[in-house]
Each structure stands twice: as C-alpha cells, then as structure tokens.
Amino acid sequence: MLVLNHPRWDEACIGAPEHGQLLGRFLERHGERIHALELNGLRPWKENLAVRWVAQHSGHPLILGGDRHGTEPNAIVNLTNAGSFAEFVAEVRRDKMSDVLFLHQYREPMRLRVIETMWDIVRNYPEQAPGRKRWNDRVFYKQDDGTVQPLSAIWNGDEPWPVRYFLQSLRVMKNQQLRSALRAALADPQEVLL
C-alpha cells in the first residue's frame, strides 16, 4: 500500500500556492499509483483539513499517520472491521475506504505535544539494555573515517553545557502544574479545534 505522507506540508517553504500546484500536478501524473493520503497526528488541524480537501477532489481515501518518535500513542487511528492487516490494505486499495478517528490528545496544543515528544526522545530509559539507556547513547554520527559512534563517545558520557541546560528545560514536562501553564501559554488561537 502506497500512502502519500504529509501531502500539504510545505516543508521546502515554497509557499502554499506553489506547493498546492506541485501537489496537484504530482497527483495528476502519479495519483493512480497512490492508494491513500495521510492525515498526520503531529501536523496542525488546518493542514489536515487541506489534506481532506485534496482527498475529496482526488478520490483518495485518508489514512492515519503521526511520526511517532516518542511514546505518546498516535493522535489519529484508523477504524476498521478488517480481521488482518491484509484485509485492511484491501479496504484501502480496492474499496478506497478508510475511517479515521481523532483522539483527545489531538486537542492539546501542537507545540506542547512536540515538546513532549522531544522529551520522550531525550529522556533516560533505565529499563533498556546497556548502550540504549541514555539518549546520547542512542544518537549516532559518522566519523570522517566512516566509523559510526554514539554521541556519548565524543562527549565522554557528559553533554556540553548548552545541551545539558536544554535537556533540563525539557524536564519541566514532568511537573503537572507547569505543564498546565505551558498548555495555556502554547495554545495557538489560530488553531481550530475539532
């Protein structure tokens, strides 16, 4: 199953009109090879509405997505009566059918959810195997000679002070009172809620 991810995200910052024109030309040329368009749980509501408009005009079903780089469950789920993944794929590919449900966390401010995801990425996971517990053991870089090393190898286990202060600022996500204040401060008045 081929799903076009982030169809209305102007990642290259070329402008919404030009991005829309390129997307339209792409779908005219390759649309019959694509089985569905993605609604993304970590993209703004306005963008997901634009994806819905494209799907209505192109005849593609919508399917969930969400860039799960953290531990939060996806904010959008597909609903199906299929008994297997193969049956679900057939619903989408053959029947062009897909029902999606936006979950409660999609109403949270997007900026807050991104910060929470960042915290999930960089926090320690003591239950993991050695070499996977700390974030700087899980992030790798390629040296000039082609060998791959975790960041902890060049930092001798300790982050540089700017990184350490940034990580400490992310730790505030544990404090529920501060999290409530952040929820209010990071709310986007332009974002339309479901």
Domain boundaries defined on the chain = 3-103, 110-186
Q: What is the pLDDT of residues 123-147, one digit of tens each?
A: 889 999 988 898 888 889 898 999 9
Can you give the pLDDT at residue 157? Answer: 63
How far is residue 32's CA from residue 16's CA, in Å, rounded to a whole number? 23
How far is residue 78's CA from residue 7's CA, in Å, rounded to a whole number? 18
How far is residue 65's CA from residue 77's CA, in Å, rounded to a whole number? 8
Can you give the pLDDT at residue 189? Answer: 66
Place of tokens 């193969």: 86
CB within 8 Å of 176: residues ≥ 6 apart? none
Mean pLDDT, the chain, whole residue set: 88
- pLDDT of residue 27 exceeding 90: yes
- pLDDT of residue 96 exceeding 70: yes
* Structure-model confidence comparison of residues 21 and 122, the more confident one: 21
- pLDDT of residue 118 exceeding 90: no
Instruction: Let me know: does 40 contact 76? Beta carbons within 8 Å.
Output: yes
Instruction: Let me know: does 64 contact 102? Beta carbons within 8 Å.
Output: no
Q: What is the pLDDT of residues 55-68, one digit of tens each?
A: 999 999 999 986 77
